């Protein structure tokens, strides 16, 4: 059995962007995470939680929460954004380091073009050589900032981004200095069995997101050409065990690969929809049934 420590984060409450008007109050999200019994979290987009180091540490400590890390969700595919991405990355790394986290997840944000073809490999344009090299350079610059703060940078293949499908993941991992954050739901959304990626790239796996996708909505995505954001609004992501991800196979592959680290339970959603705390509890029950109750903090 894989030795996983469970975490969650504000994404499960629909918080993808720090300044989104529909975001729930950060204090409510932290209170819910504490109530879930999961004692660790990713911090979410920088600027959502307090950035002052002493206050950030205090609000986590008051609730008995441990920081795992956070993410940078920016347009790495756009070289014109390089300076802005560096600034956001620096802020994120300072917050993670202040909270004594260890991981920075780097994500190419879905733009209009690739969000429109999310989950449909044959319809999606790939980046040409120079464009790909520019994106990789941007990821390396962000990774260097993470390294300077004592953090481990990992790259998250994301539905609707320019690193989504299996050929793009393979191309990414041809780069020897960039490691992987595997998201089981996003892999399934892209048509890839996540357990196969674990088996093939286990030594490069630096972080894990546990997520699931509903078969009926995923079929609509492909049949009707729903873009990534419309799919989220349609409820494509669901608690673990209710979707297409073969969780036992994933756990077996993780054990076989010798993965040791955090597994962040996430469920992408529109902020204010559904019941994040109930859905998180459902996912915890599924993991407990799979023998991971001892990993919950």
Please state, rounded to an integer, the average pLDDT across all residues of the chain.
95
The tens-digit pLDDT sequence of the chain (297 residues) is 557 899 999 999 999 999 999 999 999 999 999 999 999 999 999 999 999 999 999 999 999 999 999 999 999 999 999 999 999 999 999 999 999 999 999 999 999 999 999 999 999 999 999 999 999 999 999 999 999 999 999 999 999 999 999 999 999 999 999 999 999 999 999 999 999 999 999 999 999 999 999 999 999 999 999 999 999 999 999 999 999 999 999 999 999 999 999 999 999 999 999 999 999 999 999 998 987 744 434
- For residues 208 and 264, the answer to whether their CB atoms sit within 8 Å is yes
Token pair, residue 101, equals: 């986290």
What is the domain partition of the chain in residue ranges? 3-295
Q: Is the separation of the CB atoms in 184 and 153 below 8 Å?
A: no
Predicted confidence at residue 195, as pLDDT, reads 97
| SS (HEC) of the chain | CCEEEEEECHHHHCCCCCCCCCCCCHHHHHHHHHHHCCCEEECCCCCCCCCCHHHHHHHHHHCCCEEEEEEEEECCCCHHHHHHHHHHHHHHHHHHHHCCCCEEEEEECCCHHHHCCCCCHHHCCCCCHHHHHHHHHHHHHHHHHHHHCCCEEEECCCCCCCCCCHHHHHHHHCCCCCEEEEEHHHHHHCCCCHHHHHHHHHHHEEEEEECEECHHHHHHHHHHCCCHHHHHHCCCEECCCCCCCCHHHHHHHHHHHCCEEEEEECCCCCCCCCCHHHHHHHHHHHHHHHHHHHHCC
Spatial separation of the C-alpha atoms in residues 41 and 39, rounded to whole Å: 7
Q: What is the pTM of this model?
A: 0.96
Rounded to whole angstroms, the maximal C-alpha distance in the chain is 50
Tell me, what's the pLDDT at 292? 73
For 75-127, the pLDDT digits (tens) are 999 999 999 999 999 999 999 999 999 999 999 999 999 999 999 999 999 99
| CB atoms near residue 174 (< 10 Å) | 9
Looking at residue 290, what is its pLDDT?
Answer: 84
Please state the CATH superfamily assignment of the domain spanning residues 3-295 in this structure: Divalent-metal-dependent TIM barrel enzymes (3.20.20.150)
């Amino acid at each position: 059995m894989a030795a996983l420590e469970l975490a969650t984060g504000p994404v499960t409450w629909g918080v993808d962007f720090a300044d989104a008007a529909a975001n729930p109050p950060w204090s409510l999200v932290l209170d819910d995470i504490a109530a879930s019994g999961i004692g660790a979290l990713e911090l979410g987009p920088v600027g959502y939680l307090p950035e002052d180091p002493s206050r950030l540490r205090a609000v986590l400590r008051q609730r008995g929460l441990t920081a795992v890390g956070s993410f940078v969700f920016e347009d790495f595919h756009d070289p014109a954004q390089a300076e802005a991405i560096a600034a956001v990355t620096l802020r994120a790394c300072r917050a993670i380091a202040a909270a004594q986290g260890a991981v920075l997840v780097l994500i190419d944000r879905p733009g209009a073009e690739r969000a429109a073809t999310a989950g449909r490999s044959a319809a999606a344009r790939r980046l040409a050589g120079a464009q790909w090299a520019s994106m990789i350079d941007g990821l390396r610059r962000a990774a260097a900032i993470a390294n300077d703060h004592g953090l481990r940078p990992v790259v998250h293949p994301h539905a609707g981004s320019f690193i989504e499908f299996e050929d793009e993941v393979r191309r990414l991992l041809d780069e020897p200095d960039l490691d992987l954050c595997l998201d089981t739901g996003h892999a399934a959304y892209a048509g890839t069995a996540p357990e196969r990626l674990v088996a093939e790239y286990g030594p490069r796996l630096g972080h894990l997101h546990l997520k699931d996708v509903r078969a009926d909505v995923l079929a609509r995505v492909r049949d009707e050409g729903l873009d990534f954001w419309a799919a989220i609004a349609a409820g494509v992501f669901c608690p673990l065990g209710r979707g297409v991800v073969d969780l036992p196979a994933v756990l077996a592959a993780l054990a076989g690969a010798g993965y040791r680290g955090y597994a962040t339970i996430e469920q992408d959603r529109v902020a204010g929809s559904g019941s994040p705390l109930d859905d998180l509890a459902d996912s915890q029950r599924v993991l407990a049934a799979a023998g991971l109750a001892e990993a919950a903090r």
